[in-house]
Amino acid sequence: MSDIIRWQYQQKLITPDQAAKLVKSGDRVWYSEFAMFPEALDEALAKRVDELHNVRIRSVSYTRVPKVVQVDPTREHFILEDWHMSRIGRMLHDQDLCSYIPITYHQGPRIVKKYEDVDVAFVQVSPPDARGFFNLGPSNSVTGAYLSKAKTIVVEINDKVPHCLGGNGESIHINQVDYVVEGPNNPLFQLPEVQPTETDYKIAEFIMEEIEDGCTLQLGIGGLPNVIGKKIADSDLIDLGIHTEMLVDSCVDMYNAGRITGARKNIDTYKMTYTFAMGTDKLYKFLDHNPICASYGVNYTNDPRIIALNDKVIAINSAVEVDLFTQVCSESAGTRHISGTGGQLDFIFGAFASRQGKGFIALSSTYTDKEGNIHSRIKPTLTPGAIVTVPRSIVQYIVTEYGIAQMKGKSTWERAEAMVNLAHPMFRDELIKQAKEMKIWTRTNRIS
């Protein structure tokens, strides 16, 4: 680090409590995303609970319960909002302590630049490099857009943050930063491994038949992507690429097994392209100063027009339920909010536009409730209040443990027939009855 950079750093260095004093009642505050939660700044802001009112705090997918929520259970002082809910956001939403912001993910930065007012940005970063750049670590996404709008930028240093190479938008220079806070240097959030089910293995077998040499992959989170990642690592597939929203541990396994080269990608050749990464230290260590990885804002990674530039895009996403019209709900159970649109619509749209691309919506055919009762995830119509994540006109492939069906160009009765075939046998007769009542079943239908 040069003398001038070191001098600037010291001039801008303040305590977390001093940084919290920058926030005024009525302000809009941005917290950095996913694994980059600004712990010290959040804790300091929470101490001011009795002094502040109507402070709106936004982020994407909280990985820790913010202190500002813990000290303000009535939301009189701090109003928490989330661009994409995971476990923490979902729990807080159930308690009426967090609200969801509906978005199509690739439009996020544009929404911020067009409509958001940002008074203060609290962003966790790596220590500055020799040239004075702080790295945003594994969470690029919409942070760059928020930094471009923020009136005051405070960075919280964490020496555990991997230096993630771009792409673009992965760093911010000390000249653009107003204040620097030194954080507790705690390890980054560790994403617990989801144990796959027998159903995940069955679904994975169907999807594996659709993957060939040279495909570009988008995998999400959960047991099914973990199974597919392991199967690919153990396969003889070659020259696969990664262009994804979320980079996960299984991507490291596939790369180390020699399956990922990116050699046949049309853009970002030889690069694993992503907008955020979340996993274990295995992933974070892999990312650190690794030129095979390229971090971009989500307006690049998730733009369907960009996705489609690569051939043979394989996009794999999950759902809560699908109805006989092939409307996909991946965000709610009725009116209970679970997740968010995220990049599912982006990648289903982009994969179809890709030459030989395929977008998959995968789900188990049933689920078991707390009382032990089995219910179908294939519904005549979506549960009242359920959110349509992917419209029927955009759906391409749907997969359950009973098979895989391509829906493009299919009529309503052909879709209904395919969905009945994908449902658990114990629910098929009732689904046929409902389809007839809805006039999407004809006497020519045959169940295979």
Instruction: Write out pLDDT tens, residues 193-249.
Output: 888 999 999 999 999 999 999 999 999 778 899 999 999 999 999 999 999 999 999
pLDDT digits (tens, 9 = 90+) for 376-389: 999 999 999 999 99
Asked if the peptide bond before residue 166 counts as cis, ω within 30 degrees of 0, the response is: no
At 67-86, the pLDDT tens digits run 999 999 999 999 999 999 99
The predicted-structure confidence for 284-306, as pLDDT tens digits, reads as follows: 999 999 999 999 999 999 999 99
Taking alpha carbons only, the member of 236, 185, 190 closest to residue 213 is 236
Q: Which CATH superfamily does the domain covering 198-437 fall into? A: Acetyl-CoA hydrolase/transferase C-terminal domain (3.40.1080.20)
Q: What percent of the chain has pLDDT over 90?
A: 95
Query: Which of 181-185, 284-288, 336-340 has the least mean pLDDT?
Result: 336-340
pLDDT of residue 446: 58
Taking 70 as the threshold, does the pLDDT of residue 279 lie above it? yes
Which strand (E) or helix (H) includes residue 420?
helix 412-422
Q: What is residue 2's predicted lDDT score, i.e. its pLDDT?
A: 84
* pLDDT for the residue 38: 98
Shortest CA distance to 278 belongs to which of 96, 61, 103? 61
At the topology level, CATH places domain 3-182 in: Glutaconate Coenzyme A-transferase (3.40.1080)
423-442 per-position pLDDT tens digit: 999 999 999 999 999 999 87
The whole-number pLDDT of residue 443 equals 61
Locus of tokens 């928020």: 146
- Two structure tokens written together for 366: 């049933």
Q: With pLDDT > 70 as the criterion, what percentage of the chain qualifies?
A: 99
Local structure of residue 310 (DSSP, 8 states): S
Which residues lie closer than 8 Å to 289 by C-beta, 6 or more apart? 162, 163, 165
pLDDT of residue 447: 52
For residue 112, pLDDT over 80 is answered with yes
Active site residue 245: yes
Q: Say yes or no to pLDDT of 444 above 80.
A: no
d(CA 239, CA 216): 9
Catalytic residue among 39, 116, 245, 401: 245
Burial of 410 (0-12, 13-18, 19+ CB in 10 A): middle
What ranges do the domains of the chain cover?
3-182, 198-437
Tell me if 3-182 shares its fold with 198-437. yes
Q: What is the DSSP letter of 36?
A: G
pLDDT band at 445 (very low <50, low <70, confident <90, very high): low
